[in-house]
């Protein structure tokens, strides 16, 4: 594929835009938005005392061609570092000045994590955005409901559900270029395809989904004449549901995710060569789960149970021996969360639950052999949350969790979250104070630098904010100010005499503070414009790859048979550092600000049957760095089609 590909892209965008001028009779029914993140049960967003960022299926449709990291990085208060780099680049999650280990990720109510990872974090690259129905992002300390890791935020992902008719499905394919700002290849080097079959037959629902991605065309490391790296992902999802009656339902799921990619060495100086032909990684995940729900006269009872394994093999060139070292990791996780909602009245209900989690890992390489029998722990956490929704505007959400860990003992966390909606003013004010904990990982306890004396990292967040809906609810404005303290932080220490290294708890308290604001104006049923701004100020010890100022603006238009959207993102300068092997010292650097403009358009060639879309990313071809020494994507084009049946 050559210049014809870009020509076709431009033609498609221009043609679809012409169709956008058509008049239509599109009707939209505005329903009350429902969220689950702050209670684990569905409730009106108006009753929530949190500003929960909701990414709907319509929002995802308007961002076709973007991966999950791209989408999340446009949320107020969220920075996903690496989302503009090569697909194989590992991701950094920065919410409210925190890092990966301080963000809890749930899929359909089940926590996901890599038990063999350094920080018990989860790799968002494993999830194709095409499988997702909805995302809720709740920021702040949330360990009362979500346990370990929910210190700066919770990313709650809901996968797509089966259609109501007996058989339904879709098949899609898209392809795009893969350029840096300095290249202009016209051939397609980014391929995504998938197929889904789903439906409901009597009381049984089913869904089978297959997705795959193959990307090449650019080097992960920045440099002249560096070799191209590759990224490949395969995802298989199977869901089965059984609705016995209006009260009782069951859902089973199983999925397989695989990633293969090549990668380059860490940047270690401007005259060093970070390019590497031998580094590669293979990761595969298996997950199964069981989600029964029972509704009764006074409430609901649910169990979210899941088991997962992740196997990783990493091959890295050894510059000292001239050979390739192989590292094998396996992590296993099990989680059972049983919780009940009891309605004392229309105004008061109680959520009581208990969560059990088990983790174990193995690590095997030329230098280390960590066996599963000696690297495991479990947690048992009872918790309770009471919710009061008054008839005069006052809402209160308060609760506590008692964490019992098999290694370090006990930990108590709690939250208090009042809000008040004024009767004669379109205004809701909210406040909260909540605490959280992060369990030391198996690697930090039992790995080659392990320390069995580690205790949990502790976090506390205070919030104050408001939300207002004006102009007959067409204009929505919200803003939250936060202050977060982090204590007992995990650090890495090397003895200057013996050169022995291990993980430690740092005896100090660090803080982060900031403001998150969003605005959305629905000019009509078809046209809306919105944006958000984030200010984050963190202490020097936390300040790496976190922009002080960040903003997003987007414009979306729905026409009779399609959509058009354009968005702008500004990311402020960031601090970074690298170890310079030429002078044997760590060097601090500042990464420059950057701006991105992306556009997306879709059109139904055959109503409810065949849809095409086109996208252009980094339209201005801005040259920037997310991480020192690594490439980022320049202007790129993508074309795709989706066939529904």
The reported pLDDT for the residue numbered 63 is: 87
How wide is the angle at C-alpha 545 spanned by C-alphas 541 and 551, nearest 5°? 120
Query: What mean pLDDT do residues 478-484 have?
Result: 97
* Model confidence band, residue 32 (pLDDT cutoffs 50, 70, 90): low
Distance CA 144, CA 154 (A): 12
Query: What mean pLDDT do residues 327-331 have?
Result: 96
More confident residue, 19 or 134: 134
**Which tokens hold the place of 172?**
């899609």
Count of beta carbons in the 10 Å neighbourhood of residue 164: 9
Asked if 120 contacts 441 with a C-beta cutoff of 8 angstroms, the reply is yes
Asked if 174 contacts 186 with a C-beta cutoff of 8 angstroms, the reply is no
The reported pLDDT for the residue numbered 95 is: 95
In the block, residue with structure tokens 């689950």: 36
Query: What mean pLDDT do residues 380-386 have?
Result: 97
The reported pLDDT for the residue numbered 322 is: 83
DSSP string computed for 143-169: HHHH-TTTTSEEEEEEE----SSSSEE
Residues 279-304: tens digit of each pLDDT:
999 999 999 999 999 999 999 999 99
Which residues lie below 8 Å from residue 305, measured CB to CB, with a gap of 6+? Answer: 110, 289, 290, 291, 335, 336, 337
Query: What mean pLDDT do residues 568-575 have?
Result: 97
Q: Measured in Å, how far apart are the chain's first and last C-alpha atoms?
A: 29
Query: What mean pLDDT do residues 469-486 have?
Result: 96
pLDDT of 28 higher than 90: no
**Which tokens hold the place of 488?**
């007992």
Strands (E), 88-203: 92-95, 103-107, 110-111, 132-139, 153-159, 168-176, 190-201
**Which tokens hold the place of 70?**
């791209």
pLDDT of 588 higher than 90: yes
How wide is the angle at C-alpha 302 spanned by C-alphas 301 and 307, nearest 5°? 160
Query: What mean pLDDT do residues 524-545 have?
Result: 94
| Torsion angle (degrees, nearest 10) of CA 601, 606, 608, 609 | -100
Query: What mean pLDDT do residues 464-480 have?
Result: 95
The reported pLDDT for the residue numbered 633 is: 96
Strand partners, 9: none
* Model confidence band, residue 311 (pLDDT cutoffs 50, 70, 90): very high
Strand partners, 102: none
**Which tokens hold the place of 185?**
């290849």
The reported pLDDT for the residue numbered 37 is: 82
The per-residue pLDDT of the chain, averaged, comes to 91
Query: What mean pLDDT do residues 459-486 have?
Result: 96
Asked if 93 contacts 125 with a C-beta cutoff of 8 angstroms, the reply is no
Residues 604-642: tens digit of each pLDDT:
999 999 999 999 999 999 999 999 999 999 999 999 999
Distances (CA, A) of 643 to 57, 144, 280, 519, 607: 17, 43, 35, 34, 10
Distance CA 338, CA 342 (A): 13
pLDDT of 220 higher than 70: yes
pLDDT of 482 higher than 80: yes
Burial class (CB in 10 A: 0-12, 13-18, 19+), 641: middle
Asked if 606 contacts 620 with a C-beta cutoff of 8 angstroms, the reply is no
Q: Among 251-265, 507-521, 571-585, where is mean pLDDT lowest? A: 571-585
The reported pLDDT for the residue numbered 277 is: 85
DSSP 391: T
**Which tokens hold the place of 598?**
């992306």
pLDDT of 364 higher than 60: yes
- What is the number of alpha carbons within 13 Å of residue 228 lying toward its C-beta? 13
Closest CA to 75 of 158, 159, 155: 155
């Amino acid at each position: 594929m050559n210049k014809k590909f870009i020509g076709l892209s431009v033609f498609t965008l221009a043609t679809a835009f012409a169709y956008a001028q058509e008049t239509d009779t599109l009707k939209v029914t505005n329903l009350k938005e429902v969220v689950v993140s702050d209670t684990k049960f569905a409730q009106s967003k108006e009753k929530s005392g949190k500003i929960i960022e909701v990414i709907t299926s319509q929002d995802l449709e308007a961002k076709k061609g973007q991966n999950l990291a791209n989408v999340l990085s446009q949320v107020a208060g969220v920075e996903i570092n690496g989302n503009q780099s090569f697909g194989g680049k590992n991701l950094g999650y920065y919410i409210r000045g925190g890092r990966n280990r301080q963000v809890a990720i749930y899929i359909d109510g089940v926590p996901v994590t890599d038990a063999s990872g350094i920080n018990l974090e989860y790799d968002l690259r494993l999830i194709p955005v095409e499988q997702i129905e909805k995302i809720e992002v709740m920021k702040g300390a949330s360990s009362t409901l979500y346990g370990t890791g929910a210190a700066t935020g919770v990313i709650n992902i809901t996968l797509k559900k089966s259609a109501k008719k007996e058989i339904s499905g879709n098949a899609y394919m898209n392809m795009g270029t893969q350029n840096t700002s300095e290249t202009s290849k016209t051939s397609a080097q980014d391929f995504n395809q998938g197929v889904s079959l789903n439906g409901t037959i009597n009381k049984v629902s089913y869904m089978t989904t297959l997705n795959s991605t193959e990307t090449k065309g650019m080097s992960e490391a920045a440099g002249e004449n560096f070799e191209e790296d590759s990224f490949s992902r395969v995802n298989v999802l199977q869901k089965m549901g059984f609705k016995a009656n209006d009260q009782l339902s069951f859902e089973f799921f199983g999925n397989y995710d695989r990633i293969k990619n090549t990668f380059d060495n860490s940047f270690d100086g401007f005259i060093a060569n970070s390019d590497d032909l031998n580094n590669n990684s293979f990761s595969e995940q298996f997950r199964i789960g069981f989600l029964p729900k029972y509704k009764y006269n006074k409430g609901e009872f649910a169990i979210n149970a899941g088991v997962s394994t992740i196997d990783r093999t990493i091959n890295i060139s050894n510059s000292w021996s001239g050979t390739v070292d192989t590292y094998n990791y396996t992590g296993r996780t099990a989680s059972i969360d049983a919780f009940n909602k009891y309605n004392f009245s229309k105004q008061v209900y109680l959520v009581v639950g208990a969560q059990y989690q088990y983790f174990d890992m193995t690590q095997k390489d030329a230098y280390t052999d960590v066996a599963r029998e000696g690297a495991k722990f479990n947690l048992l956490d009872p918790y309770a949350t009471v919710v009061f929704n008054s008839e005069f505007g006052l809402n209160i959400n308060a609760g506590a969790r008692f964490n019992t860990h098999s290694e370090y003992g006990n930990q108590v966390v709690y939250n208090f979250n009042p809000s008040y909606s004024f009767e004669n003013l379109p205004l809701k004010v909210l406040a909260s104070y909540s605490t959280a904990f992060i369990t030391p990982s198996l690697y930090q306890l039992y790995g080659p630098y392990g320390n069995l004396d580690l205790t949990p990292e502790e976090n506390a967040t205070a919030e104050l904010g408001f939300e207002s809906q004006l102009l007959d609810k067409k204009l929505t404005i919200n803003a939250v100010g936060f202050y977060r303290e982090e204590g007992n932080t995990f650090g890495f220490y090397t003895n200057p005499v013996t050169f022995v290294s291990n993980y430690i708890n740092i005896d100090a308290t660090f803080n982060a503070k900031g403001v998150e604001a969003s605005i959305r104006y629905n000019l009509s049923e078809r046209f809306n414009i919105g944006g958000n701004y984030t200010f984050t100020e963190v202490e020097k010890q936390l300040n790496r790859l976190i922009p002080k100022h960040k903003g997003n603006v987007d414009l979306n238009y729905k026409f009779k048979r399609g959509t058009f959207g354009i968005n702008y993102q500004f990311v402020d300068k960031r601090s970074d550092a690298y170890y310079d092997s030429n002078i044997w010292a760590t060097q601090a650097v500042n990464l420059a600000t950057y701006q991105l403009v992306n556009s997306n358009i879709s059109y139904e060639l055959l109503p409810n049957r065949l849809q095409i879309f086109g996208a252009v990313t980094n339209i201005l071809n801005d040259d920037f760095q997310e991480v020192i020494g690594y490439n980022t994507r320049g202007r790129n084009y993508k074309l795709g089609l989706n066939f529904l049946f």
